[in-house]
Structure 1
Amino acid sequence: MSFVSVRDIWQSYDGRPILERVNLDVDEGEFVSIVGASGCGKSTFLRLLLAEERPTKGEIRIDGGEPAQEPNPERGVVFQRYSVFPHMTVRENIVAAEAFKTRLGFLGRAARRAALARADETLERIGLSHVAGAYPATLSGGMQQRLAIGQALTARPRILLLDEPFGALDPGTRLAMHDFLVELRGETAMTVFMVTHDLEEGFKLGDRVLVFDKPRWDPHDPNAWGATITYDFNARDGGIPFQPRDAFDNIGERDVA
């Protein structure tokens, strides 16, 4: 049984289809990169995985459980725009990520001391140790994004969802964060889904690269159809593609979700 099971997912907004017939099986510990043109539903798919949205049709199951009704601690997320706690210092933002893992949402005295020590190690690894006592508003956008990534990784969710997480970073920092993500993934065996517009980055980090696209196109009504997974590449075997997806084979009249 696959760890993440996506079955016949459709998503529409105000009757406008965004995703159609999305089916996917992902093993635990896999890193899945997601690429495709702007507006083809990549971020929508991440929100569905996060359970921030419910699909119009179909279901997503994690480890055989019931479909989630809302986001929960087993799913961590980093969006394209950084999202950290503005009222907490940089160090406290990292510690907060550990507190989220506890049942009551806070740490005892001994646990907090240990979390502070681990937070300092994390900040050293992501290049923010020199601003540990600062507040996010005083940091550059790239530094805030590094903090958001460090915070999400510290929580060590079973599934990590990344939406263009490195777009605001300079090339050197971007490579350093690639290394940090690879190292932490090796330590935790978390399952990762990452949306990126950088195809090279997708193949570098991913075990698989999914291409989202619209296999059907109406020139008179570009929004008539939604996108699905059109290719599923094995990124660890020289980019050799698996068989193209056949989600739309043998379809006649328009199939409405």
Structure 2
Amino acid sequence: MPMIQAKNLWKTYGDNIVLERMNVSVNAGEFITMVGTSGCGKSTFLKMLLGMESPSSGELLLDGKPIPDEPDQSRGIVFQQYSVFPHLTVLENVIIAREFEYSPLLGKLFGSKKKAVVEEAKALLESVGLTQATHRYPHELSGGMKQRLAIAQALIRQPRILLLDEPFGALDPGIRADMHQLILELWRKHNLTIFMVTHDLSEGFYLGTRLWVFDKLRRDNQAPTAYGASITYDLPVTRNNTQVPPELKTVTQEIQDF
């Protein structure tokens, strides 16, 4: 059975149709990259996978059951804007998720449980290259280091699915290349299923095992919100292939111009 299934999935906000007629399935361990112009529903679909948004009609299933209508441990997310706590150190930023998981009221752990969580967090920080920064605060970190911290935050609860919403868009090219290698290593090491929104086609082809293009099949210039987007291309990707296939030539410039 596929891990994720969308069956005739629609998402609307009043008269504004964002997504329509989505039918797709994803197996565990796939790396899905998603591209498309602004407002075509990529981030909305990501929020639906997380549980922050619910389908207007149709089904979005996880292991054959409707996705829970709120975030849980099985799904972690990393945004473009660094979702870190400025008043906590790097280490504290990572362990806080575990503390609230085990102690929802106090948000604190003590004794052997605290020691185990600290060791787990240190091992994760080592895997993302932040061992030397455990006692620093976010304002002392570079952009790339903050994004590494955000990834560690997402992974500390051992999610099956990692959702990435343009996580590297604000980083310099050299740092982005390092982050590409990091996310591929973590994907393999933790057996993750990843959904990643990007506006960089080369990044999408390089990282993903499948690339989805979101676009509208139907348009009405007099009523631009009357029709929603769907997945117009679902392309299998060969690792390290950054060449845009011929069938995407007509939409490549529109995506990259955004």
Please classify the TM superposition score into its range, dividing by the shorter chain length: 0.7 to 0.9
Alignment of 1:1-257 (within 5 A): 1-99=1-99, 109-236=111-238
TM-score (norm 1): 0.84
Cross-structure match for 2:251: none
1:109 Cα shift?
3.0
Structure 1 residues 103 and 73, CA gap change in structure 2 (3 angstroms) = farther
Q: Which amino acid aligns with 1:4?
A: I
Structure 1 residues 156 and 175, CA gap change in structure 2 (3 angstroms) = farther
Q: Percent identity among equivalent residues?
A: 50
**How many angstroms apart in 1 are the aligned matches of 2:196 and 2:17?**
22
Task: Count the aligned residue pairs.
Answer: 243
* Residue aligned with 1:73, SS: coil
1:50 Cα shift?
0.6
1:124 Cα shift?
4.0
Q: Which amino acid aligns with 1:225?
A: Y
Residues 23-67 of structure 1 deviation map (CA, whole Å, 9 limit, x = unaligned): 110001111001111111100000011110111111211112333
**Greater fraction helix:** 2
1:77 Cα shift?
0.6
**Aligned Cα RMSD in Å?**
2.6
Q: Which amino acid aligns with 2:44?
A: T
Q: Which amino acid aligns with 1:200?
A: S
**How many angstroms apart in 1 are the aligned matches of 2:99 and 2:238?**
35
Residues 193-242 of structure 1 deviation map (CA, whole Å, 9 limit, x = unaligned): 0000111111111110010001111122222211000010001286798x
**How many angstroms apart in 1 are the aligned matches of 2:134 and 2:79?**
22
Structure 1 residues 86 and 205, CA gap change in structure 2 (3 angstroms) = same
Q: Which amino acid aligns with 1:73?
A: Q
**Gap runs ≥5 in structure 2:** 249-258
Q: Which amino acid aligns with 2:133?
A: V
**How many angstroms apart in 2 are the aligned matches of 1:179 and 1:107?**
34
TM-score (norm 2): 0.84
**Gap runs ≥5 in structure 1:** 245-257
Deviates most, 97-106 or 34-43: 97-106
**How many angstroms apart in 2 are the aligned matches of 1:201 and 1:101?**
34
**How many angstroms apart in 1 are the aligned matches of 2:103 and 2:192?**
20
Deviates most, 172-181 or 119-128: 119-128
Q: Which amino acid aligns with 2:15?
A: G
* Residue aligned with 2:65, SS: coil
Structure 1 residues 115 and 34, CA gap change in structure 2 (3 angstroms) = same
**How many angstroms apart in 1 are the aligned matches of 2:197 and 2:125?**
24
Q: Which amino acid aligns with 1:213?
A: D
